Amino acid sequence: MDSRRSPAGRHMLVAGEKPKDKKYTFNRLKDYFKGEKANLILVFVLVLVSGILGIFIPFLIGKAVDTIYPGVRNVEFQKLKIITTILLTIYILDNLFKLFQEYLVVGISQRIVFNIRKDLFNKFQTLPIIFFDTSSHGELMSRITNDIDNISTTISQSTVQLMSSIVNIIGSLTMMLYLSIPMTIASMITIPLVYLLTKTITKKTRVLFKEQQRSLGKLNSQIEETIGGISVVKAFGKEEKVVEEFIAENNLLRDVGYRAQIWSGFLMPIMNVINNLAFGVIAVFGGVLAVKGKISVGVISSFIFYSKQFTRPLMEIAATFNTLQSGIAGAERVIEILDEEEERKDLDNAIEVENIKGEVEFKNVNFEYKDGEPVLKNISLKIEPGTNIALVGPTGAGKTTIVNLLTGFYEVEIGEILIDGINIKDYKKDYLRNIFGMVLQDTYLFSGTIRENIKYGKLDATDEEIIRAAKMSKAEDFINKLPDGYNTILTEGGTNLSQGERQLLAISRAILVDPSILILDEATSSVDTRTEFKIQEAMVKLMENRTTFIIAHRLSTIRDADIIMVVDKGEIIEAGNHKELINNKGHYYELYRSQFLNMGEAI
């Protein structure tokens, strides 16, 4: 598939693949941190002050130890009291600063994530329909929820951690060098081990966390698909099958999550072993120096604390890298969407035209989803204003693609489409969409009242206009039977109505818009024959003096169309009215004959 049309565009990663450009990811995230610059500086100042206070703690502990000489009578109690008071004050101030740091960082992370989630949702509104046609909805939901939550966790847990770790490492190393250069060199023996361990484990966890997020997205997609089609699952008795599929996908997520957490969990225990090894080296080497009278016992005590204060940030940074891997994995998946190619922007001189007549012309239009696999081949047609055009043909022939190109949902790459002699690319996009009224086969209603759903395409519509549209579509017959009438609350998708009732509301919505060009994609496919007959009466009035495209498999609904075009394998192979096509005894004749001959209906 062409990268422009792939579900995640040119930055899509394959499961288990290493991030291709972490630097690019960090640069993109950096834009979100710019608005928090002042707060981040304040956090760093607090971390710096807290770190400096913490650096003096081991030094003072060493001094306190040195106040105690051999023999209880030689303890310098006054000096010990002063040092203890200073230590207590430092501990209190240090914890207060840390509390304020956490408060600031939580606010920073939530505001950043709020902006990322807002930008991602706004991005969804600018992406072309073809992106959603080729993407898993559950996967997209996973990106705007789970992946962004991972970013939030990473920011809140890692920002202060990284800052304080750097301050503690520099400060501790400085004090260690001040107290004893030989002891400092001895304690550095474990640093290469820490580096090798961190590099080895994070290399593995980076891949596993990426795979875990992708597996979670697939599981979400499967759940969303199963819940959305639960009636079909139950109708065909496939409950056990979908449970098996869920268990299989859940097992994959469990296994990769298990491996990610196991590898991540290796880090801290091994780091503790290395840390204890460092303590052993300090104790032995320090004891030797103390016996020789080169350092005091207090210095050894300080060194043990400083060694811990030096190695602990290294351990925390190593652990933070694991959190970062999960956050980076989520960030990359979000940025993949943010970098997707958007719908065509309006031209600088884009226009609006009053009183659209409805003349439509296709000039040598070709279209393909995949390179080398054309969906439409050299489509050329000209429709006069007020003409009713029916598009018929087998599933996948290209009928809906013709309509999606006309409305601008898909971009014309080869050829031209004109409305009233003007290329559709020259119209303002919002204005172009308002030219059309659409009733699709897959009706979608939003959570809200029936009134709100009907007026969705015309928010300033009056109650009189809404009622008139409902009457024309014959929807008012069932609306008035509901306890709350037009104020009846619909669930998401309108699932508390029948499919036919939902279709009638969609037709009402299109009537209310009063479009210049009407598109009916199997508009009556979900209603019974009696209701269909009533709708057809309303449609006759609606289609008067209005260019109408009708996509239908039920050929009885399009017999009166001015022009019937038979589409097959991306080409218009026949065109004419019903009588002409029947007399030609071509493809349309065979389609019609196959539908109605057994019913005894005259051809």
Three-state DSSP state, 434: helix
The residues, any chain, with a CB within 8 Å of residue 147's CB and separated by 6 or more, are: 213, 329, 330, 331, 333, 334
pLDDT at 531: 65
pLDDT at 15: 33
- Max avg pLDDT among 151-165, 223-237, 522-536, 563-577: 563-577
Whether residue 63 has pLDDT greater than 50: yes
pLDDT digits (tens, 9 = 90+) for 229-265: 776 777 767 788 888 888 888 888 888 888 887 777 7
How far is the C-alpha of 249 from the C-alpha of 258, rounded, in Å?
Answer: 14
More confident residue, 22 or 99: 99
Give the chain's mean pLDDT. 80
Percent of the chain scored above 70 by pLDDT? 89
How far is the C-alpha of 261 from the C-alpha of 322, rounded, in Å?
Answer: 9
Radius of gyration for the chain, computed over Cα atoms and rounded to the nearest angstrom: 35
Whose CA is closest to 269, among 227, 206, 318?
Answer: 318
pLDDT at 12: 39
What is the CB neighbour count within 10 angstroms for residue 426?
15
pLDDT digits (tens, 9 = 90+) for 420-457: 999 999 998 888 888 888 887 777 788 888 898 888 87
Bridge partner residues of 374 (DSSP): 368
pLDDT digits (tens, 9 = 90+) for 37-59: 888 889 888 888 888 887 878 77
pLDDT at 4: 36
Whether residue 19 has pLDDT greater than 60: no
Whether residue 68 has pLDDT greater than 80: no
pLDDT digits (tens, 9 = 90+) for 449-466: 889 888 887 888 899 999
Mean pLDDT confidence for 163-177: 81
18: amino acid identity, one letter: K
pLDDT at 524: 66
pLDDT digits (tens, 9 = 90+) for 472-501: 878 888 888 888 888 988 877 777 787 778
The residues, any chain, with a CB within 8 Å of residue 396's CB and separated by 6 or more, are: none
Question: pLDDT class for 10, splitting at 50, 70, 90?
Answer: very low
Whether residue 406 has pLDDT greater than 80: yes
How far is the C-alpha of 198 from the C-alpha of 180, rounded, in Å?
Answer: 28
Which CA distances in Å does 251 have to 245, 258, 266, 365? 10, 10, 22, 47
393: amino acid identity, one letter: G
User: What are 168's two structure tokens?
Assistant: 């503690």
Residue pair 566/578 in contact (Cβ under 8 Å)? The answer is no
Three-state DSSP state, 215: helix
